[in-house]
Amino acid sequence: MTVLERLAALRALMQQYELTAYIVPGTDPHASEYMAPHWMEMSWISGFLGESGTAVITMDKALLWTDSRYYLQAEAELQGSTFELMRESDVDCPSITEWLNSQLSTLNSPLSIQIGVNPEMYSINGYRDMRDELAESGIQLVSKDLIQPIWTENRPPIPMNPLYTYSDQFAGASVPSKLARLREALREKRCDALVVAELDEIGWLLNIRGTDVDYTPCVVAYCVVEMQRCTLFINPHKVSATDADILHNQGVELQPYEAIYTYLPTLQAQKVLMDGNRVNEALYEAYMQVPDRKVLVVTPSPLQVMMSVKNEVQLDGLRAAMRRDAVALTRFFRWLETEALQSPQTEVTLANQLHAYRAMGQSFTDESFGTIAGWNANGAIVHYAAKPDSCAPIEGNGVLLLDSGGQYLDGTTDITRTVWVGDPSAIPAQLKHDFTLVLKGHIALAKARFPKGTRGNQLDVLAHQFMWAEGITYGHGTGHGVGHFMGCHEGPANIRTDNNPNPIRLGNVFSDEPGIYRAGKYGIRIENLVATRQAAATAHTTGETYFEFETLTLCFYDTRLIDRKMLTADEVAWINTYHAWVEKEITPLLATSEAAYLHTKCLPI
């Protein structure tokens, strides 16, 4: 079917169900960062293949909302589809509900105006917000899946890759112990059950992993935890007899994936907890089919906090994974400086070579996200993704922003380094100035010492301060949480200007990644991962508990880009101490020639 034929089929169903409009978001039922192709309904109906977008279809119009990262792509892919591009990053672009209210509330219709959505694709909170905003104009939101009846040809199946049980040797905690902790948290909230839809929460809780999702070792499933029962809803073909026995012995029962919708109405719990941002509306509606039911909709669920606090086994594993990651990075940067440019290279070939070095490491399974390799001006595009047919060649002198990470059985890594390629004498003074501003902010956050209960937005200024003093800022967060052999982006706490009420906790792992982006010229970002630990008492301590960050990432900075005059004595000492530590940790893992290269990169400045 062409896009025009798909729109015609959808409008026929809209007419049948008396719907004035239908909304197709670019989401899935599990609030996933990376979706399986089965759920890419927005792309199917519109032809737009970007990672972020929402399609709105009326009887005579089709519109697609997406942000500025995808404007050029959308313009090309929507050609001939009758879809109009709505540039949601532009200040004058109405939101979807604003557009619907203005367009549809004036219709002269004897019937109530109804707009349809698939409730599986909306979180409980997202659905409620849209419903309430539309209701202000007398428009009714209706739960109806109209894509499934018409997407009957060549729809990819729900992933059928098998799960595998994840050893306590890496997880550091058993499934029964995690279930016991979760049930205690439910008692504190006076709830009898928890519905879990997000895949990384399920993987963490039940110590299971899989390959159903790009970059994140998850398996497609749902889970319901009750006081005396835990049920994993998953396609039975994905679970071997051995793994089924392991799960059973840990107190986990199995039911088919789709059975959750018939199971929830039979749930005997008096009060069920659901994470409003991660559990989809369809699950909520299934449970609420029975009158007088109670649901506590919270954000975040107790699992978000639990999984964010890494135990010592996880932290030790992450430290070990960082050492192997550092070996790969050292080999890559040595290759880049000494061999790479003897033959043609592009942003894509560099990313492929880095992947090859990482894949040589023990327990490596995948990248933790798609590598961002931005040469010169492309580095200024924060979420740049190089494509083989359009990526930049690496030629002449320039600056490379390389943001990458690996998934290892014992930890997840995420690192950004900005390096010079070419003749060092050609490095512009402005580039050095900007690089050093970023590095100063990066160090200031890494050195932070703060009282227990501090939130990330209270620390964010440390990374921004030197740039703000010169009227420079960046639009992304300074630090995101990082999972353990799980999602590279994890909540509930973060480090950014937004007021996130979740405090920083012991065992939280964050990125530390300030940046400067000069459009059309270059991008600079410097990123390490840090773990929260308790700070030692000082002579001035008055009884309060203080935290600090332990730097986990092991990789040198490109000191050729540093303007030494801009650094304080403390900052110079910090860099030299860090480089000495990197060399000490990694040298024993390298060949003699590789160790000699690393030594030159870690010399004191």
Q: Are strands 113-117 and 83-87 parallel, antiparallel or unpaired?
A: unpaired
Higher per-residue pLDDT: 104 or 331: 331
Amino acid 292: pLDDT:
86
Amino acid 300: pLDDT:
85
3-state secondary structure (DSSP) of residue 348? helix
Average pLDDT, the chain: 96
Q: Please, are residues 232 and 155 in contact by the beta-carbon 8 Å criterion?
A: no
Q: Mention every residue, 6+ apart, whose C-beta is less than 8 A from residue 136.
A: 101
Largest CA distance in the chain: 82
Express the helix, strand and coil content of the chain in percent, nearest 5 each: 40, 20, 40
3-state secondary structure (DSSP) of residue 582? helix
Q: Please, are residues 20 and 107 in contact by the beta-carbon 8 Å criterion?
A: yes
In tens, the pLDDT along 521-547 reads 999 999 999 999 999 877 676 778 999
Burial of 298 from C-beta contacts in 10 A (0-12 / 13-18 / 19+):
middle
Using CA atoms, how far residue 530 sits from 157, 413, 458, 554, in Å, is 39, 11, 17, 11
Q: What's the rounded Cα separation, in Å, for the pair 53 and 25?
A: 6
Q: What percent of the chain has pLDDT over 90?
A: 91
Q: What's the rounded Cα separation, in Å, for the pair 223 and 206?
A: 9
In tens, the pLDDT along 203-261 reads 999 999 999 999 999 999 999 999 999 999 999 999 999 999 999 999 999 999 999 99
Q: Of the candidates 384, 400, 390, 385, which has an alpha carbon nearest to the alpha carbon of residue 341?
A: 400
Question: Does 92 have pLDDT greater than 70?
Answer: yes
Amino acid 104: pLDDT:
84
Q: Please, are residues 454 and 473 in contact by the beta-carbon 8 Å criterion?
A: no
What is the enclosing helix (H) or strand (E) of 482? none
Residue 108: band (very low, low, confident or very high) from pLDDT cuts 50, 70, 90: low
Q: What's the rounded Cα separation, in Å, for the pair 384 and 472?
A: 21
Q: Please, are residues 229 and 306 in contact by the beta-carbon 8 Å criterion?
A: no
Q: What's the rounded Cα separation, in Å, for the pair 197 and 176?
A: 20
Amino acid 111: pLDDT:
59
In tens, the pLDDT along 482-517 reads 999 999 999 999 999 999 999 999 999 999 999 999
Q: What's the rounded Cα separation, in Å, for the pair 225 and 220?
A: 17
Pick from 120-124, 290-294, 372-376, 469-473: least confident: 290-294
Residue type, 238: K
Residue 69: band (very low, low, confident or very high) from pLDDT cuts 50, 70, 90: confident
Amino acid 109: pLDDT:
59
Amino acid 107: pLDDT:
64
Q: Mention every residue, 6+ apart, whose C-beta is less than 8 A from residue 46.
A: 3, 24, 53, 55, 62, 64, 78, 81, 83
Amino acid 541: pLDDT:
66
Residue type, 214: D
Residue type, 28: D
Residue 433: band (very low, low, confident or very high) from pLDDT cuts 50, 70, 90: very high
- CB atoms under 10 Å from CB of 70, counted, come to 22
Beta bridge pairs of residue 143: 117
Amino acid 68: pLDDT:
83
Q: Report the pLDDT averaged over residues 277-288.
A: 97
Using CA atoms, how far residue 311 sits from 249, 337, 454, in Å, is 24, 38, 20
What is the enclosing helix (H) or strand (E) of 430? helix 429-446
Using CA atoms, how far residue 412 sits from 30, 425, 480, 578, in Å, is 21, 36, 13, 21
Amino acid 106: pLDDT:
66
- CB atoms under 10 Å from CB of 62, counted, come to 20
Read off φ and ψ for residue 581, nearest 5 degrees. Answer: -65, -45
Tokens of 12: 């026929």
Q: Report the pLDDT averaged over residues 362-366.
A: 97
Q: Where are the alpha helices (DSSP H) in 224-278?
A: 241-249, 260-263
Q: Please, are residues 285 and 262 in contact by the beta-carbon 8 Å criterion?
A: no
Q: Are strands 62-66 and 54-58 parallel, antiparallel or unpaired?
A: antiparallel
Q: What percent of the chain has pLDDT over 70?
A: 99
